[in-house]
Amino acid sequence: MPELPEVETTRRGLVPLLCGTRIIALVVRDRRLRWPIAPQLETLLPGRTIARIDRRGKYLLLDLGEGSLIIHLGMSGSLQMVATRKPPGPWDPFDIVVTGGQCLRMRDPRRFGALLYTEDRPHHPLLRHLGPEPLEPEFSGAYLYHRARGRRIAIRDFLLNGQIVAGIGNIYANEALFSAGIHPGRAAGRISRTRYDTLAAAIVAVLNRAIAVGGTTLKDFSGSDGRPGYFQQQLQVYGRAGDPCLGCGTQIVRLSHLTRSSYYCPHCQR
């Protein structure tokens, strides 16, 4: 579910509710996430104050001063602030209980998410090799062009690689490629510098537009306040196989022989 805009939506919703609060307890109901929740966390966290909430790609980072919690939502995760007394559902693996009777509750039916702790954020194996943030200045067409030299991988898969650029998932990769007029199967190394400028701008634009409306809710994503996102109403190609291209009317094609579906307009994208 959650790509950069959904994680950013979650982060923005949590900041006013969680920053400055003190952790009272970590309640774990199911340790079996992508990586098992370390048992030490239950003794480590109480008493710590949540100083800041950051985001790196699709990772949410709770800064505890000395150390950080790393939360990843996987495919099906979401976070909500709820009253601690509210009964948890069957797919709510943990609560971070804070002062004020509230807790940060994770829901994750597929258990692809993660809750990890590090005292060395820059060197953590999940964060250390991440590419630049697409909404920061170091991300540009020049950067993408440089990284793509000699690569034959399809541009869609290139954009999904977090080591190239952080936070882009299948929805926004497909949408940005449509916006830039680039075929998702084109080799990354066979795209001109000029087209990479267009693509980088398209990525920034589509991410910002999605953040502005609270992200994309396909099935059950909701922000930290429980409200869905609305970007799905603006999707140009993702999930629209067989429907007319909004630019030229040609039927949108779905390429399913790739591990993840690509959606594109065969007329507008080359």
Instruction: State in Å, rounded, how far the first CA of the chain is from the last one.
Output: 28
Tell me how far apart the alpha carbons of residues 130 and 185 are, in angstroms, rounded to a whole number.
Answer: 23
Which one, 24 or 235, has the nearer CB to DNA? 235
Question: Token pair of 231, please?
Answer: 């970007």
Q: Which of 154, 206, 235, 253 binds DNA (CB under 7 A)?
A: 154
Which one, 179 or 262, has the nearer CB to DNA? 262
Q: Is 60 helix (H, G, I), strand (E, B) or coil?
A: strand
Other residues' Cβ atoms within 10 Å of the Cβ of residue 5: 27
Tell me how far apart the alpha carbons of residues 115 and 17 are, in angstroms, rounded to a whole number.
Answer: 19
Using the rule CB under 7 A, is 175 a contact of DNA?
A: no
* Pattern 32-51, DNA, x by CB under 7 A: x-x-----------------
Tell me how far apart the alpha carbons of residues 245 and 262 are, in angstroms, rounded to a whole number.
Answer: 14
Using the rule CB under 7 A, is 123 a contact of DNA?
A: no
Using the rule CB under 7 A, is 57 a contact of DNA?
A: yes
The long-range contacts involving 227-235, CB below 8 angstroms and separated by at least 24 positions, are 229/5, 229/6, 229/9, 231/5, 234/209, 234/210, 235/171, 235/175
Residue 228 among the catalytic residues? no
Q: How many residues are there in the chain?
A: 270
CA 173-61-120 angle, 5° bins: 115
Using the rule CB under 7 A, is 135 a contact of DNA?
A: no
Active-site residue identified among 11, 55, 58, 195 = 58
Using the rule CB under 7 A, is 25 a contact of DNA?
A: no
Using the rule CB under 7 A, is 6 a contact of DNA?
A: yes
Residue 87 among the catalytic residues? no
Residue 219 among the catalytic residues? no
Using the rule CB under 7 A, is 261 a contact of DNA?
A: yes
Question: Token pair of 43, please?
Answer: 């003794």
DSSP assignment of 244-255, as one string? Answer: BPTTT-PBPEEE
Tell me how far apart the alpha carbons of residues 189 and 191 are, in angstroms, rounded to a whole number.
Answer: 6
Using the rule CB under 7 A, is 126 a contact of DNA?
A: yes
Using the rule CB under 7 A, is 216 a contact of DNA?
A: yes
Residue 20 CB, nearest approach to DNA (Å): 27
Using the rule CB under 7 A, is 29 a contact of DNA?
A: no
Active-site residue identified among 244, 260, 266, 270 = 260
Q: Which stretch binds DNA (CB under 7 A): 21-29, 132-140, 192-200, 209-217?
A: 209-217
Q: Which residues are catalytic?
A: 2-3, 58, 260
The site for DNA (CB under 7 A) is made up of 1-3, 6, 32, 34, 57-59, 72, 74-76, 90-91, 109-112, 126, 150-154, 157, 160, 162, 169-171, 188, 215-221, 254, 256, 259-261
